[in-house]
Amino acid sequence: MSAATTPVKYAGQSYLIEFIVATALYVGAIVLRNHAAHANLSPNVVLATKILPILPIWLMLAVVWRYYLRIDEFARKRLLETLAIAFGIASCAITSYALLMDAGLPQLAITWAWPTLAVSWGLTAGIRNIANR
Amino acid sequence: MKNTLPELRARQGLTQADLADALNVSRQTVNALETGRYDPSLPLAFAIAKLFKCRIEDVFSPR
């Protein structure tokens, strides 16, 4: 069954399963990448593990897109509003921290940008859900 | 907009979940419609009117 024809009431359940799988693949790829960096492997394998996390990142985008296709118009409106707010908060947070790094805070890799957006999205969605009860 | 969805639904003996299934929307969407927190698109408004066998203006009207 394609994402667009899945009944709306199963959208959240399907999304949760797909999101957990994509997140697990991302975490697995990061662990493998970090392990390979300290292991005695050929340069080609190390390079492959370095770029491996790119795949689950794009898979997460596909998961969110499939969720968007499954949900109804009210949920789409809320999803897009929540993403817009979360994106704004994450952009400010990331830029602020980049400036604070120049002022002496510990250096963080750019890969923290995605988890920052994810946390911002989760918090925004949670607060909006509580406010709309 | 205000609407008569709760009355129409009650008259048919439907729960919010029943109506959500019939319209292929979530129960949260039905709740948002009934409480006036969300105004539906025209296709959804037509689907609601068709389900209750009435005109859109019998369901939705300006505040």
- For chain A, the average pLDDT equals 91
Q: What is the pTM of this model?
A: 0.82
Cβ–Cβ below 8 Å for B24 and A8: yes
Residue B60: phi and psi, rounded to 5, are -115, 140
Q: With an 8 Å Cβ cutoff, is A69 touching chain B?
A: no
Residue B2: phi and psi, rounded to 5, are -105, 160
Q: Compute the nearest-CA separation of A9 from chain B (Å).
A: 6
- State the sign of the Cα–Cα–Cα–Cα dihedral B39, B42, B43, B46: positive
d(CA A79, CA A67): 10
What is the predicted pLDDT for the residue at A21?
97
Which tens digits make up the pLDDT trace of A59-96? Answer: 999 999 999 999 999 999 999 999 999 999 999 999 99
Which tens digits make up the pLDDT trace of B24-53? Answer: 999 999 999 999 999 999 999 999 999 999
The mean pLDDT value for B3-10 works out to: 96
Which tens digits make up the pLDDT trace of A4-44? Answer: 666 788 898 999 999 999 999 999 999 999 999 888 889 99
Cβ–Cβ below 8 Å for A73 and B24: no
